[in-house]
Copies of this chain bind each other. A is one copy, B any other.
Amino acid sequence: MSHPDDSFHVFDTTLRDGAQREGINLTVADKLTIARHLDEFGVGFIEGGWPGANPRDTEFFARAAAELDLQTAQLVAFGATRRAGGKAAEDAQLAALVNSGAPVVTLVAKSHDRHVELALRTTLDENLEMVRDSVEYLRSQGRRVFIDCEHFFDGYKANREYALSVVRTAHQAGADVVVLCDTNGGMLPAGVRDIVADVLRQTGARLGIHAQDDTGCAVANTLAAVDAGATHVQCTANGYGERVGNANLFPVVGALELKYGKQVLPEGRLAEMTRISHAIAEVVNLAPSTHQPYVGFSAFAHKAGLHASAIKVDPDLYQHIAPELVGNTMRMLVSDMAGRASIELKGKELGYDLSADRDLVGRVVAKVKEQENLGFTYEAADASFELLLRDEVRGTRERFFTLESWRTISEQQPDGLAGNEATVKLWAKGERRIATGEGNGPVDALDRALRAALEHIYPQLAKMELVDYKVRILEGQHGTGSKTRVLIESTDSTATWSTVGVADNVIAASWLALEDAYTYGLLRAGLDPSS
């Protein structure tokens, strides 16, 4: 067991609370994949869902028992205290928690007097009895129990004595951790710190924190609770969660490991953070947030000319941690705000030493500005930038093929069948080629036509594939009549590269990005366009 000891808990609830995020809809297979990523990252606990509440979560726990081989994390089932007026031992919902097979159970309990009366519709005393009875029952079934005190902070402000009595009851009944939840997310760090400190003094219970991000302070609130003595933090990957979201696992872990010097992951796992963050975003089918702390694509990207000059002297002057610690990398951005220093550094990153040729750097800066005025962006299209740089270095635009024309036709026929067809006419190695492709959409058809036209001349194309395709409307005021920017990500299975195209027309823009993607891929395969 490589996990740090039990004295501090990193508890992930992406699969339960994170799944409440608008736009997320996880299948059981998605949940299993995410659990594997979280285990690989090294969290201590993975809350998998609410067995019995819906068929999907019940199935997840059944399949987790059979298929998941967790190395570091323990699986946690989530549920509620027993029904008012019933008995824990006879409660169907608690039975489902036991039957889930999870070694740890988190029970949500009301700790705000008004919620007990209005939402639960029972008495304050019966609510305490529900907590006691439910915890004792689960303990008797050999389960470790954590209690989530829902709306704790609001409840503490409304009726401190009652909120404290819920904590005491849970603690005395055998709950290992009492988690104080800022369910509505309205707290700020100073208030969290004071209340957690008071609860710790008054009850002696082991405390945890569950923060929502409605004030934009969920990470800080989590750390404030740790400052006050909490030893269990509940987070979600990428901060997914209802409304604004939950405390984001990655900056919380980043702060604990790198700012507090507290080891909360097994050795070596912190450097997987960026990869795991992006992998989970991929599974939930949301674009990774480019501006996420520590793991965002932009988190260590430098744009300002002022900074770029200083970074040439010493990178540590301008970054709060070495990005490699969290598996991220420093990037210099190419943009028309950038000066010569940025372009030189970017060239160096790509393997071109530009420092000796001041004219060349000037020409590249001018060309970038010109293209960016047309709507191109090279910040997210390194391969297109490298082609631009290569053309300027060589003083000529060398390509593997020359377009004559293309055409796409999409139609939906009276019988409801839809079809897409594209034809390209081009020249390659002195030969005129015409090819037609069919596809799931006009751009897919165009890609297939281009591939068909070139594949017997350039068999290396067989290894290349488009993996992502993004469309951005540049001027949002004119609807479908706007200028369109297309970003294409391609791979040859050892690397991926991004290219950009801009035109009035989504298909013309796609063509430009496709042309760069193929050109870059063939250069990567070692071919020489001038031969």
Contact = CB atoms under 8 A, between A and B. Distances in A.
A451 to B, nearest CB: 11
Interface in A88-121: 114-115, 118-119
Interface in A473-508: 473-484, 488-490, 503-508
Given A188-B220, A476-B282, A476-B285, A420 B505 contact: yes
A185 interface: yes
Nearest to A413: B405
Contacts of A200: none
Interface in A337-380: 337, 372, 377, 379-380
A244 interface: yes
A220, A300, A420, A477, most chain B CB atoms within 10 A: A220
A505 B440 contact: yes
B506 A441 contact: yes
B410 A408 contact: yes
Contact of A479 (B239, B405, B466): B466
Contact of A440 (B242, B259, B442, B504): B504
A434 interface: no
Contacts of A444: 479-481
A411 B418 contact: no
B465 A479 contact: yes
Nearest to A504: B440
A154 to B, nearest CB: 8
Contacts of A482: 440, 469
A301 interface: yes
Contacts of A227: 190
Contacts of A114: 317
Copies in the complex: 2
Nearest to A182: B320
A320 B410 contact: no
Interface in A51-108: 54
A401 to B, nearest CB: 14
Given A186-B320, A223-B188, A468-B473, A443 B216 contact: no
A314 B118 contact: yes
A379 B185 CA distance: 22
A292 interface: yes
A300 B504 contact: no
Contacts of A466: 479-480
A523 interface: no
A442 B410 CA distance: 9
Given A242-B301, A418-B507, A443-B480, 9 more contacts: A54-B337, A119-B313, A188-B223, A243-B302, A407-B412, A439-B481, A465-B479, A469-B473, A479-B488
18 contacts: A23-B290, A54-B337, A118-B313, A184-B320, A214-B293, A215-B251, A243-B298, A243-B302, A405-B412, A405-B413, A405-B414, A408-B408, A418-B505, A439-B481, A440-B482, A442-B505, A447-B480, A471-B471
